[in-house]
Amino acid sequence: MYDKSLDREAFVMDPKPFSSPVFTLLMHNTVHDALNTMKTNFIKRVVIVKDSKPIGIVTERDISRFLEKDTTKRALDEITLKEIMKKNLITIQANQADHFEQCATRMITFKMGSIIVVNDEGRLAGITTQTDITAAFASTYSGKYKVKDYMTDKVVTCRETDSLQYALEIINKNDVSRLVVTDSKGIVKGIITTNTFLRHSEYFKENTKSRRYLLPAERVDARTVSEWIESEILTVEQDEDLANAAALMIKNKVSGIPVIVMKDSKLTGVVSKFDVVRAYSNVIPHGKVLEIYRTYP
């Protein structure tokens, strides 16, 4: 159940710059191992390490993209992470004063959802994700921007009556992590994400060699999106404070919220953690520009 109430005093006022410890695996571990770790711990990525040093990273989207292109018939426990992991890591050293600003800039520049944090010896110290930066923005920059300043107005949608298989095909085809779900009149009914599919996955309940780990094992064409979306809808309006939207994402553990016009529930866009990261990366530059104009003779 979603909770739209916000208690600023109770909200995190001193967010941690990175999460630690980090969920890690080794190169010889398999896709099965990675998915099991993600599902069990409600995470989207695992870091691959060697001698306590990060050498790669694998996300659920990386796995999905790999399986789409892989022409072999190997099962998920036969594919090693060495084949899939991204090796060109973007890192940052721990204990930097402008940690969040640097991480936000790197995420925007390289279009990624996390930055690996290392210590002076190059060993894994933690990981900073979009969630960490969203929490920092929520607690630091109230009143700075409105939702409409950073929301995305091009939204990929599906209907609540669509099959789960069709919804997953739309996600993969558009290379997105979420779909806004509507009814036949275009009224927002919720959101379905790749995490939704992973959370409901039956792959780990059965002894199967199937690679369709995100879809139900039976009657896949008959199962609809409405079965997996929350009964209560979390939405925001475009004139709401972006920091409030960020706080709602953290409180309700979601990565994006549909933006609507309240009087008719018309969908106008979606605001995501990545949008909040974009806002965070602009706070300091915008502040410097304003300062120049204030001091201009």
- Report pLDDT digits (tens) over 145-172: 999 999 999 999 999 999 999 999 999 8
Q: Tell me: the pLDDT tens digits for 167-190? A: 999 998 998 989 999 999 888 998
Full 3-state SS string of the chain: CCCCCCCCCCCCCCCCCCECCCCEECCCCEHHHHHHHHHHHCCCEEEEEECCEEEEEEEHHHHHHHHHHCCCCCCHHHCEHHHCCECCCCEEECCCCCHHHHHHHHHHHHCCCEEEEECCCCCEEEEEEHHHHHHHHHHHCCCCCEHHHHCECCCCEEECCCEHHHHHHHHHHHCCCEEEEECCCCEEEEEEEHHHHHHCCCHHHCCCCCCCCCCCCCCCCCCEHHHCCCCCCCCEECCCEHHHHHHHHHHHCCCEEEEEECCCCEEEEEEEHHHHHHHHHHHHHHHHHHHHHHHCC
Average pLDDT on 282-289 reads 65
Mean confidence (pLDDT) of the chain: 87
Burial class (CB in 10 A: 0-12, 13-18, 19+), 192: buried
- Picking from 140, 155, 184, the residue at the C-terminal end of a domain is 140
- Picking from 94, 111, 140, the residue at the C-terminal end of a domain is 140
- The answer on pLDDT for 8 being more than 60 is no
- Within this chain, do residues 48 and 166 fall inside the same structural domain, yes or no? no
- Within this chain, do residues 163 and 134 fall inside the same structural domain, yes or no? no
Q: Which of 185, 202, 286, 192 is nearest to 233 (CA)?
A: 192
- Within this chain, do residues 153 and 125 fall inside the same structural domain, yes or no? no
- Within this chain, do residues 63 and 182 fall inside the same structural domain, yes or no? no
Specify if 286 maps to a domain. no
Residues sharing a CB contact under 8 Å with residue 69, sequence separation 6 or more, in sequence order: none
Q: How many CB atoms lie within 10 A of CB 130?
A: 24
Q: Which residues of 231-248 are buried (b: 16+ CB within 10 A; e: fewer)?
A: eebbbbebebbbbbbbbb
Percent of the chain beyond pLDDT 70? 88
pTM of the model: 0.87
Tokens of 267: 């969908």
Say what the pLDDT of residue 15 is: 72
Specify if 294 maps to a domain. no
- Within this chain, do residues 194 and 264 fall inside the same structural domain, yes or no? yes
- Within this chain, do residues 251 and 182 fall inside the same structural domain, yes or no? yes
Assign residue 211 the CATH number of its domain: 3.10.580.10
Specify if 257 maps to a domain. yes
Q: Tell me: the pLDDT tens digits for 29-65? A: 999 999 999 989 989 999 999 999 999 999 999 998 8
- Within this chain, do residues 57 and 29 fall inside the same structural domain, yes or no? yes
Weakest mean pLDDT among 156-165, 193-202, 217-226, 284-293: 284-293
Are residues 258 and 180 in contact, defined by beta-carbon separation less than 8 angstroms?
Answer: yes
Specify if 188 maps to a domain. yes
- Within this chain, do residues 41 and 108 fall inside the same structural domain, yes or no? yes
- Count of the separate structural domains present in the chain: 2
Domain that includes residue 258, residue range? 147-280
- Within this chain, do residues 187 and 248 fall inside the same structural domain, yes or no? yes
- The residue assigned the tokens 């306590």 is 52
Specify if 216 maps to a domain. yes
Sorting pLDDT into bands at 50, 70 and 90, what band is 291? very low
Average pLDDT on 102-121 reads 94
- Within this chain, do residues 67 and 163 fall inside the same structural domain, yes or no? no
Specify if 205 maps to a domain. yes
- Picking from 111, 140, 169, the residue at the C-terminal end of a domain is 140
> For residues 2 and 130, which has the higher predicted lDDT (pLDDT)?
130
- Within this chain, do residues 83 and 167 fall inside the same structural domain, yes or no? no
Specify if 92 maps to a domain. yes
Residue 123, CB-side half-sphere exposure with 13 Å CA sphere: 5
- The answer on pLDDT for 204 being more than 80 is no
Are residues 46 and 101 in contact, defined by beta-carbon separation less than 8 angstroms?
Answer: no
Average pLDDT on 268-286 reads 91
- Within this chain, do residues 155 and 221 fall inside the same structural domain, yes or no? yes
Specify if 11 maps to a domain. no
